[in-house]
Structure formats: structure tokens, C-alpha cells
Amino acid sequence: MKVNVIDIKGQDTGRTIELPDEMFGIEPNEHAMYLAAKQFLAHGRQGTAKSKERWEISLSTRKIKRQKGTGTARAGSLKSPLFRGGGRVFGPQPRDYNIKLNKKLKSLARASALSSKAADGNVIVIEDFSFDKPHTKSYVDILKSLNIGSKRSLHVIRDYDKTMLLSMRNVQRAELAVVNDLNTYQILKAGKLIFSEGAIDKIRTLFV
């Protein structure tokens, strides 16, 4: 698949770039994308929620009232879940939410997400650029020139660029990703994918 390369002003440069079919031209596998997104979200959960059960409550075990003649149910301990301050029945316990997926499935999911975005015409390739110093307005102007508007966008670059990160981190609904860290959930969440030319070259060497 060939895509026109545009400049930061949104103008066509007259050049095209070939998107590798192995990453942008396959039949999307929806189940693989679902599993990869589920794993990403699961890894973000702490799993530290905890409530005390009966045996963990530190209260007296004396019988709090006589067995019969009170007109209410019998009660033998303040640790009962029926009383305020008592233990909780089947409450949350610390657990690990991590999900294991093999590398081939994760690669398939990433390629499926990229192919789905490309098929919908939501992939933009822009010529490589950088800022001399952090400047948010300059990056906002670039998004306007690309007709991104209020859509959520993901800008994929070849290598980590601190100046670029500082320039766009306060821009709502815009994210930055390095090719090495690109994941399925980021791709699916974005409305538009903006790739630098260098990022496409690196994708070709890393994933193809």
C-alpha cells in the first residue's frame, strides 16, 4: 500500500512511501486484537484491593448476648459480617491480573490493528521533523494543518524525542509513541495514526 508523504503544513511533498503489507495489509483478526487490548488493560491494574474477613478482625470473642429470649437472632461474636466493624464475606483479596500471551499472537494483534486503521484511511505519513525547543502551539498548528481537529491522534516516531514529548504532552487527545513501544491498545484507541517517515522504515526492520 502506497501513501503520500505530507509536510508539517499539510501539503503534499510529491513523494510516496510503501507501507509494508505484513503490517498494514493483512486481514484483521478481531479476537487477537481483543486479547491484546485486554492484556494491556489488565497489566494496568494494581490488584491490591483487600478487605478483612472474620478471622482477621481483632475483636473480643465473648458471647455478646444470651442465646434465647431476646426476640432477635442469636449472635456469638462481633466479628460476624452482620455487625458493623465485622468481617466481610468473600471480599476482595490481593491478586495478579496479568495475562500471558505469546509473541506471535501479540504481533498478529498489532498488525491487525494497523491494517484496520489503514483500511479505514486513518493512517497519515508525515516527513520527519523536530523542534529546537518545546513549543506546544507549534504542534497544535501541525495538527490543524493535518485536519485532525478534535479526533484522538497517536504520533509514532522512530526514536525517543524529549523535545517532541514536551511539545505535545499538554495537547488533549494526542499521544506520542516510539516504534519499539507501539502496542495494540494505543493503535485501537487513536482515531488517526500519524507516522513519521523514519518510523515506517523502523517498522519495516523491526516487525517485518
CATH architecture entry for 2-46+97-206: 3-Layer(aba) Sandwich (3.40)
User: Residue ranges of the domains in the chain?
Assistant: 2-46+97-206, 51-91
Is the pLDDT at 28 greater than 80, yes or no? yes
Per-residue pLDDT tens over the stretch 151-193: 899 999 999 999 999 999 999 999 999 999 999 999 999 999 9
Q: Can you read off the three cell numbers belonging to residue 2?
A: 502506497
Q: Is 150 exposed, middle or buried (0-12, 13-18, 19+ CB in 10 A)?
A: exposed
Cα–Cα distance list, 191 to 121, 122, 185 (Å): 10, 7, 12
Q: pLDDT tens, 38-49?
A: 999 999 999 999
> What pLDDT score does 105 carry?
96
Stretch (H or E) spanning 91: none
